[in-house]
Amino acid sequence: MDKRIGIIGIMIEDFSQISAVSRLLGEYSDCILGRQGMNLREEHLRVISLIVEATTDEMGALTGKLGRLPGVRVKSILSRTKEERDADTTRDSVHPKG
């Protein structure tokens, strides 16, 4: 299965889950290209954004495990496959936009 670039956004509302989130990110560290975290004290919230290179299975496993933690919210987006991008390019050349 091909690896794709993706973005994962994590919001931690229950601070008791921080160690569990860190443990999971450590387990998937080989997929993580970049990580940024912010502690928003006034909102009682921690936010982590990740740039990953992973298969859809790896991405689903990580986001699924994170999303099952109470007080943790997760959203993700993946890049399109080369075939999907090529199909759009072909379609656009046959039916130009505009």
Show the domain range for 38.
4-94
Can you give the pLDDT at residue 91? 61
Can you give the pLDDT at residue 48? 98
Can you give the pLDDT at residue 86? 77
Per-residue pLDDT of 58-97, as tens digits, reads 999 999 999 999 999 999 999 987 777 778 776 656 566 6
Q: Go through the chain and tell me how many residues it has.
A: 98
CATH number at residue 83: 3.30.70.1150
What distances in angstroms separate CA 30 from CA 1, 24, 34, 43, 95, one per listed residue?
16, 12, 11, 31, 41
| Residue 5 pLDDT > 70 | yes
Per-residue pLDDT of 38-69, as tens digits, reads 999 999 999 999 999 999 999 999 999 999 99
Give the residue among 71, 69, 35 at the shortest CA–CA distance from 53.
Answer: 35
Domain count, the chain: 1
